[in-house]
Amino acid sequence: MCQLLYCCWDDGLVFKLVLLILMLCPLTINSSFQYLTFVQQWPRGYCTVNPSRCQRIPLPTVFTIHGLWPGNFTKILQICTTTSYTQLQNFQDWNNRNLRWPDLAKPLPTMQNFQEPRFQSFWKHEWKKHGTCSENMYPEATYFSRTIQLSNIFPGSNPTVSSVNSTIYRAISNHVPDLMCVTPPHQTPALVEIGICFTATMTTIIDCPSQFLRTGSCGIGTINFPA
């Protein structure tokens, strides 16, 4: 068997292969993303800093998404591939994305003109500048949907208990939070408190002890997060 392998072993080919790997490795290590920054913005803040560019009326009164920025510990990542942005064609899709990720520099379009490129230029910019840098893991549709999932708990939304639980769980490095809801008569449970548990020195987040969890007060379905 070994003899067979040896007879077919082409030194030249191996050399070229090693050379190729050595050439590509630093490139892939330096340009691959190692973490993601989920950036949200306070609309009133954006408009105070950029009064001339602030066009959105009414201005949202919740934090909205600016972007999801893939990063690398040694290098700034920007415009990593040439993959172009795909315009949303459906008004409902546009509206769903706009709800959490509005372009504050544009007025609200109508159903007739929402397809104009200017009404998606912010998303296009974010995709090209940042999204393409995590494209190997999150192709465009996934990049947008996963980013929106990260912000799925906001006042006025009707999240499910499990989505609130898992979002907080991920946000605090996979530790169990303690949710507390109050259920008014004949209504859905309303989210009132989110508890995060620490060690006594307050240096480390831990799972909230299961024996005292109040998450059961939220039931198992949709809850209300009043605006």
**Interface residues toward ligand 5GP, by CB under 6 A:** 41, 46, 50, 66-67, 103-105, 122, 126, 129
Partners of 205 in beta bridges: 198
Residue 167: CB minimum distance to ligand 5GP, A: 23
- For 7, other C-beta atoms within 10 Å of its C-beta total 7
Residue 197's closest CA among 160, 167, 158, 169? 169
Comparing CB distances to ligand 5GP, the nearer of 40 and 160 is 40
Comparing CB distances to ligand 5GP, the nearer of 46 and 138 is 46
For the chain, list the strands marked E by DSSP.
Answer: 35-41, 64-71, 178-182, 190-195, 197-198, 205-206
Comparing CB distances to ligand 5GP, the nearer of 39 and 192 is 39
Residue 118: CB minimum distance to ligand 5GP, A: 10
d(CA 79, CA 176): 36
Residue 74: CB minimum distance to ligand 5GP, A: 19
Comparing CB distances to ligand 5GP, the nearer of 5 and 57 is 57
Structure token pair of residue 103: 């372009």
Residue 67: CB minimum distance to ligand 5GP, A: 5
Given a contact cutoff of 8 angstroms between Cβ atoms, the answer to whether 178 and 186 are in contact is no
The 3-class SS string of 148-211 reads HHHCCCCCCCCCEHHHHHHHHHHHCCCCCCEEEEECCCCCCCEEEEEECEECCCCCCEECCCHH
Residue 89: CB minimum distance to ligand 5GP, A: 21
